[in-house]
């Protein structure tokens, strides 16, 4: 209320029509009218929804609002009770626990909706209707304010005396530069040109093939038309931090299916077995949806399809290069081994890829 | 809210209240009935753990009956000696009784017409007839046998089953067994109708485009674990609320955006409307 007196606040904004003495004698409603005028707000329409107090319509509206708050109360109470009482522990033999989360959600929703609905209905049904208009005003400060503020800032700058202390100027400049470098230098760690690691995987001559549960693979393990995901049988072969690049899909073809090999890769397969990198050459997803009759390998991410019978040539979708093929054979003890590492980089393209 | 003269009809609010209450009760009753009915039907449709004891016999009588059925229903496409007919049906030599069981018990065979993928339908032959045909095919060509004994193992294997499922099956059949699309109209079917034996025989024989998972690759214990996992997954409740097809974030996001945001927009319109 004291703001009414402070006419110096915003020059140019509408000022109450009345002086403070008169203002204090006004009714609360008229006081509010006058007060909003300070902010340039004019109330253009105001009407009591229930001019005659205590009608049935008013009571009904009040009951509706009250009902919402009761619902909010009941919902909140039910939430607490359900949280304590309902079974929540995972139980394999029944799904009684399955109600826990939905019921909590439902009761909390009832409570929050009750409050929200009650507040909105209160405003819509009971509170006095009112429409106000506020005048727009320019966003800048007055000329006088701008000049005085500039004077204060300039004076402060002058008091530091930096303009006539070259030593401080230089030392400060230097330290600010060093601080900037401190922020930029760590970014250098992100700029790194890959050397050989993108062209190498965990496979080497004689590395055995191992399944995800650490079984070595022998030719009799897979039926015709079967597939197996294999990893290098080395210590870090299953480590997805180190050797996520080495995942290979070992496929045993059906009788009658043959793979036409690429030039110089005639010996990459072993009898009816072939092994391809499982990492899609488009975006690096695991391409492992294998159709054993058509010999197609699908990548689930962007629907690339590779025809394994044409040596994993991409026949559909965004992948542009065939899947790299791993040369395999069987060692003296009858286990599958890699003959050497892939002869090209696996996975998606990158700049340095030949 | 319009101001209605409250003197004209004194009893009106009460009857309206009564109408609302009775409406709410009717709605609750209807919803409850539907819910109970659904729960009953869903429970009845859920396959129970089964122990396969009805493997096809090597009884010559059964084999002869199977041969009769084969010659009536299968011979047109698979040939007199199971050798197959060009452009109609493949040879059945060596597919084994497990393949016959899977194809016939799921209604895929006899096939209605040639298309991208043979679909599951109501089985044409009953269980006994299916096993007779299986016995006949086995007696001629040999191959993968129908598994017997405990097909699920004990519940300790569930975690292992989940791991194996995600490694070997989930890429095509979806992490919740809902199936998914393959190339050119083919698809990996959802698993909600599969019983223990069809899951086993599917792994053993690799029907249509599914890869084969023989016993040297996935041991019997591992197949038990996978079967147990799949069947348990189907019976599990959905602790987060509505499953929305159990298809993951895409349909959930769709529902959240269309239904959720839609409701919020309507509510905003209502809040902002002049009363």
pLDDT digits (tens, 9 = 90+) for A72-123: 999 999 999 999 998 888 777 777 787 888 899 999 999 999 999 999 999 9
Interface touch A226/B217, C-beta < 8 Å:
yes
Interface touch B212/A212, C-beta < 8 Å:
no
Residue of higher predicted confidence among A320 and A92: A320
- Domain CATH for A213: 2.102.10.10
A240 contact B CB<8A: no
- Decide if pLDDT at B27 tops 90: no
Q: What is the pLDDT of residue A61?
A: 93
- Decide if pLDDT at A235 tops 50: yes
Q: What is the pLDDT of residue B275?
A: 64
- Rounded CA gap, A340 and A345, in Å? 13
Cα of first residue to Cα of last residue in chain A, in angstroms, is 78
Q: What is the pLDDT of residues B170-222, one digit of tens each?
A: 999 988 888 888 988 899 999 988 989 999 999 999 898 999 998 888 999 99
Among A175, A190, A205, identify where a domain stops.
A190
Residue of higher predicted confidence among B53 and B112: B112
Do A198 and A154 share a structural domain?
A: no
Nearest CA in chain B to A251: B211
In chain A, residues with a C-beta closer than 8 Å to the C-beta of B156 are none
Give the DSSP H or E segment for A249: strand A248-252
Given a contact cutoff of 8 angstroms between Cβ atoms, the answer to whether A287 and A270 are in contact is: no
Interface touch B171/A228, C-beta < 8 Å:
no
- Decide if pLDDT at A12 tops 80: no
Do A283 and A253 share a structural domain?
A: yes
Cα of first residue to Cα of last residue in chain B, in angstroms, is 7
Q: What is the pLDDT of residue A200?
A: 87
- Decide if pLDDT at B14 tops 60: no
ω into B110 cis (within 30 of 0) = yes
Among A161, A190, A219, identify where a domain stops.
A190
Do A131 and A203 share a structural domain?
A: no
What's the number of domains chain A is made of? 2
Percent of chain A surpassing pLDDT 70 = 95
Query: For helices A100-121 and A56-85, what crossing angle results, to 10°?
Result: 160
ipTM exceeding 0.90, yes/no: no
Residue of higher predicted confidence among B52 and A251: A251
Cβ-nearest to B167 among A97, A212, A222: A212
Do A221 and A181 share a structural domain?
A: no
Cβ-nearest to A225 among B155, B206, B216: B206
Do A297 and A278 share a structural domain?
A: yes
- CB-defined contacts A:B, below 8 A: 95
Chain length of chain B: 275
A249-273 average pLDDT score: 88
In chain A, residues with a C-beta closer than 8 Å to the C-beta of B188 are 289
Residue of higher predicted confidence among B176 and A6: B176
Q: What is the pLDDT of residue A304?
A: 93
Q: What is the pLDDT of residue B21?
A: 73
Reported as a pLDDT band with limits 50, 70 and 90, residue A243 is confident
- Decide if pLDDT at A26 tops 60: yes
Q: What is the pLDDT of residue B127?
A: 87
Q: Which two tokens stand for residue A152?
A: 């204060």
A175 contact B CB<8A: no
Residue of higher predicted confidence among B18 and B91: B91
Q: What is the pLDDT of residues B102-132, one digit of tens each?
A: 999 898 888 888 888 888 888 899 988 999 9
Do A250 and A136 share a structural domain?
A: no
Given a contact cutoff of 8 angstroms between Cβ atoms, the answer to whether B143 and B92 are in contact is: no
Residue of higher predicted confidence among A266 and B196: B196
Q: Which residues contact B168 (CB under 8 A, 6 or more apart)?
A: A229, B213, B218, B226
Residue A64 backbone dihedrals phi, psi, to 5 degrees: -60, -45
Q: What is the pLDDT of residue B48?
A: 46
Q: Around Cβ A183, how many Cβ atoms within 10 Å?
A: 8
Residue (of B138, B65, B60) closest to B97 by Cα position? B138
Question: What DSSP assignment string belongs to B101-139?
Answer: HHHHHTT-SS-SS--SSPPP-S-SS-HHHHHHHHHHHHH
B275 contact A CB<8A: yes
Reported as a pLDDT band with limits 50, 70 and 90, residue B37 is low
Where in chain B are the domains?
34-51+152-193+209-275, 54-147
Do A51 and A25 share a structural domain?
A: yes
Q: What is the pLDDT of residue B242?
A: 80
Average pLDDT, chain A: 87
A291 contact B CB<8A: yes
Host domain of residue A349? 194-354
Q: What is the pLDDT of residue B169?
A: 92
- Rounded CA gap, A174 and A263, in Å? 63
In chain B, residues 177-206 whose CB comes closer than 8 Å to chain A: 180, 182-183, 186, 188, 206
Do A225 and A159 share a structural domain?
A: no
Do A215 and A325 share a structural domain?
A: yes
Percent of chain A surpassing pLDDT 90 = 51
Reported as a pLDDT band with limits 50, 70 and 90, residue A8 is very low
Reported as a pLDDT band with limits 50, 70 and 90, residue B35 is low
Reported as a pLDDT band with limits 50, 70 and 90, residue A145 is very high
Do A208 and A95 share a structural domain?
A: no
Cβ-nearest to B211 among A60, A225, A300: A225
- Decide if pLDDT at A180 tops 90: yes
Reported as a pLDDT band with limits 50, 70 and 90, residue B38 is low
A48-53 average pLDDT score: 88
Q: Same topology for domains B34-51+152-193+209-275 and B54-147, yes or no?
A: yes
Average pLDDT, chain B: 82
Nearest CA in chain B to A120: B271
Cβ-nearest to B210 among A49, A99, A292: A292
- Decide if pLDDT at B134 tops 70: yes
Topology given in CATH for the domain delimited by B54-147: Cytochrome Bc1 Complex; Chain D, domain 2 (1.10.760)
Topology given in CATH for the domain delimited by B34-51+152-193+209-275: Cytochrome Bc1 Complex; Chain D, domain 2 (1.10.760)
Given a contact cutoff of 8 angstroms between Cβ atoms, the answer to whether A256 and A267 are in contact is: no
Do A156 and A76 share a structural domain?
A: yes
Q: What is the pLDDT of residue A21?
A: 87
In chain A, residues 76-135 whose CB comes closer than 8 Å to chain B: 92, 95, 97-102, 105, 120, 124-125, 129
Among A166, A190, A214, identify where a domain stops.
A190
Reported as a pLDDT band with limits 50, 70 and 90, residue A20 is confident
Q: What is the pLDDT of residue A4?
A: 42
Q: What is the pLDDT of residue B34?
A: 65
Helix and strand numbers (H, E) in chain A are: 6, 12
- Rounded CA gap, B229 and B52, in Å? 18
């Amino acid at each position: 209320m004291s703001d009414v007196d402070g006419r110096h606040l915003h020059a140019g904004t509408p000022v109450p029509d009345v002086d403070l003495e008169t203002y204090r004698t006004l009714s609360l409603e008229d006081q509010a009218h006058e007060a909003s005028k300070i902010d340039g707000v004019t109330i253009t329409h105001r009407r009591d929804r229930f001019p005659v107090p205590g009608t049935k319509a008013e009571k009904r509206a009040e009951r509706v609002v009250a009902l919402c708050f009761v619902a909010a109360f009941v919902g909140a109470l039910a939430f607490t009770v359900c949280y304590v009482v309902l079974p929540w522990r995972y139980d394999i033999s029944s799904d009684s626990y399955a109600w826990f989360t939905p019921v909590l959600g439902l009761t909390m929703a009832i409570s929050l909706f009750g409050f929200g609905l009650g507040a909105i209905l209160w405003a819509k049904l009971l509170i006095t209707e009112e429409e106000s208009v506020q005048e727009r005003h320019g966003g800048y400060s007055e000329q006088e304010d701008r000049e005085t503020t500039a004077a204060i800032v300039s004076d402060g700058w002058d008091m530091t005396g930096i303009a006539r202390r070259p030593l401080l100027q230089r030392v400060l400049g230097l330290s600010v530069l060093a601080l900037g470098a401190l922020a930029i230098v760590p970014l250098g760690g992100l700029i790194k040109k890959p050397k050989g690691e993108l062209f190498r995987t965990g496979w080497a001559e004689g590395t055995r093939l191992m399944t995800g549960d650490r079984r070595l693979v022998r030719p009799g393990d897979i039926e015709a038309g079967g597939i197996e995901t294999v990893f290098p049988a080395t210590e870090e072969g299953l480590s997805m931090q180190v050797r996520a690049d080495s995942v290979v899909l070992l496929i045993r073809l059906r009788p009658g299916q043959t793979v036409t090999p690429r030039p110089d890769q005639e010996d990459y397969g072993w009898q009816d077995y072939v092994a391809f990198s499982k990492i899609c050459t488009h975006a690096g997803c695991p391409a492992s949806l294998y159709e054993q009759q058509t010999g197609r390998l699908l990548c689930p991410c962007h629907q690339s399809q590779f025809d394994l019978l044409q040596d994993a040539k991409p026949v559909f979708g965004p992948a542009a290069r065939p899947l790299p093929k791993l040369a395999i054979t069987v060692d003296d003890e009858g286990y599958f081994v890699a003959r050497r590492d892939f002869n090209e980089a696996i996975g998606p393209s990158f700049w340095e890829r030949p | 809210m319009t101001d209605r003269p409250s003197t004209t009809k004194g009893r009106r609010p009460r009857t309206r209240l009564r109408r609302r209450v009775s409406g709410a009760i009717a709605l609750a009753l209807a919803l409850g009935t539907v819910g109970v009915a659904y729960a009953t039907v869903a429970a009845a449709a859920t396959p129970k753990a089964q122990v396969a004891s009805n493997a096809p016999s090597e009884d010559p009588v059964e084999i002869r009956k199977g041969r009769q059925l084969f010659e009536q229903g299968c011979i047109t496409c698979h040939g007199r000696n199971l050798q197959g007919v060009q452009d109609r049906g493949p040879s059945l030599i060596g597919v084994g009784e497990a393949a016959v069981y899977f194809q016939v018990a799921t209604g895929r065979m006899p096939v209605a017409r040639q298309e991208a993928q043979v679909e599951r339908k109501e089985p044409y032959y009953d269980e006994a007839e299916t096993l007779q045909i299986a016995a006949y095919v086995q007696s001629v060509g040999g191959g993968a046998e129908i598994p017997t004994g405990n097909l699920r193992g004990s519940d300790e294997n569930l975690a292992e089953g989940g791991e194996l499922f995600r490694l070997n099956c989930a890429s095509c059949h979806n992490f919740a067994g809902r199936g998914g699309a393959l190339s050119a109209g083919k698809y990996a079917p959802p698993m909600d109708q599969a019983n223990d034996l069809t899951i086993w025989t599917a792994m053993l024989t690799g029907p249509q485009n599914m890869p084969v998972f023989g016993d040297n690759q996935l041991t019997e214990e591992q197949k038990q674990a996978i079967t147990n996992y799949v069947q348990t997954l189907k019976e599990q409740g959905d602790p987060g609320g509505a499953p929305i097809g159990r298809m993951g974030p895409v349909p959930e996001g769709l529902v959240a955006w269309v239904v959720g945001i839609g409701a919020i927009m309507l509510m905003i319109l209502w809040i902002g409307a002049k009363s």
